[in-house]
Amino acid sequence: MVRRRFPVLRVAGIEVAVHLTWFPVLFLVAAAAFTGFSEVFPTRSPVGLAALALATGIAFFASLIAHELAHAALANRLGVRVRSILLFMFGGVAEIDGEEAATPSAEVAIALVGPAMSVRSEEHTSELQSLAYLVCRLLLEKK
């Protein structure tokens, strides 16, 4: 039997796992980053570029976890117990215990807080991209 769910961490009692179908997403993100880094730093070693590409894939993974944990944190605060989060190829899904949200407005709030977290993170993306670019230049410049 093939194991399809791989627990990766636990945050505030919520297990976060990845499904087998998520690994191709990580590969595609890392491959795209590798291609981009290769164009920006054409003289650098493929090993260094691959390490940066993998770090980019991990940062993407962390942003997905933050998005899903925002949903879970508000759900827990509003009385909807979230047991686990599963990331798979097309997004994430939460496993809840018991009842759903008590009111439609609570349900809407839980649904919107994840994208709000992503938008809030996006506000700082240009600064983070600039910082990442500077770090990459420092790491990959010829000495």
- Catalytic residue set: 68
Give 10's strand partners. 15
Rounded to 5 degrees, what are φ and ψ at 83? -85, -40
User: Strand 91-97 vs strand 81-88: parallel, antiparallel, or unpaired?
Assistant: antiparallel
> d(Cα 138, Cα 143) in Å, to the nearest integer?
9
